[in-house]
Amino acid sequence: MAAPRLWSWHLSPFAGKVRIAAAVTGTELELIEIDPVQRPPRLRELNPAGRVPVLELDDVVVRESSAICDWLDDVGAGASLWPEDPARRAAARGLMRWLDDELTVPFFLSFRKEAFGASDGEPPDIVQRLRARLMRRWPKLEAELARGGSRWLAGSPEPTLADLSGMPLAVRVPQWGPQLAPPAELTRVCGWLDALREHPAVVEVKRRGRPAAEL
């Protein structure tokens, strides 16, 4: 039986989130690397928005990274992506959404806007606004880590998807924007980022798949 096909792009933090989740859950996927400038027609058939990640499961299509990660957690033979305790699991899910929206998106979107310019109707200083928003969120992340009393979010003894979702950010901040790193006095956040960079699944952040043009 062929492995499920994941349409991906190595610079997408949300496609990276799925690749990381697949590695942690021990799920084999066929990676297809898109060219974001020339998106393959097949991708638009699967997702009219033309965005990755998209997972093909025979005649079923799963869009959006969190939905794909839910499927991976259901079918994977490896570690679970969530705490066993229902309350901590719910808390971790909420923290993952917050991290995606309030840290990952401002960081990666600021570089996209810097490269390609603001969209119609956006302020000319959109890059600076996004980066200022990110910097305001680091202290909030420090507080969340302190609240849980663990090196990981939601007080989990092991990293959950709430933490693993931050792995693309942990890798790219020192490479692309070291000036956007959290201040050194935010010791919990700095330690959390260091721990993510040391996690075995970190290799998935930069993993490329088979070029879509070869299909």
Q: Domain 86-200, what fold?
A: Glutathione S-transferase Yfyf (Class Pi); Chain A, domain 2 (1.20.1050)
pLDDT digits (tens, 9 = 90+) for 8-54: 999 999 999 999 999 999 999 999 999 999 999 999 999 999 999 99
Strand order in the sheet with 5-8: 60-63, 54-57, 5-8, 30-33, 210-211
The model's pTM: 0.97
User: For 116-148, how does the pLDDT look when each residue is reduced to its tens digit (9 = 90+)?
Assistant: 999 999 999 999 999 999 999 999 999 999 999
Q: What is the pLDDT of residue 2?
A: 77
Q: What is the pLDDT of residue 1?
A: 59
Q: Which pair of structure tokens corresponds to residue 119? A: 């969209």
Q: Which two tokens stand for residue 84?
A: 């066993």
Fold of 5-80+202-214: Glutaredoxin (3.40.30)
- Summary mean pLDDT of the chain: 96
If you average pLDDT over residues 146-174, what whole number do you get? 96
The distance from CA 61 to its chain's CA centroid, rounded to whole angstroms, is 20
- For residue 63, what pLDDT is reported? 97
Domain residue spans in the chain?
5-80+202-214, 86-200
Extract long-range pairs of 127-135: CB within 8 Å, 24+ residues apart: 130/106, 131/106, 131/107, 131/177, 131/180, 133/102, 133/106, 134/103, 134/106, 134/107, 134/110, 134/180, 135/180
Q: How far apart are CA 86 and CA 10, in angstroms?
A: 33
- The predicted-structure confidence for 52-107, as pLDDT tens digits, reads as follows 999 999 899 999 999 999 999 999 999 999 999 999 999 999 999 999 999 999 99
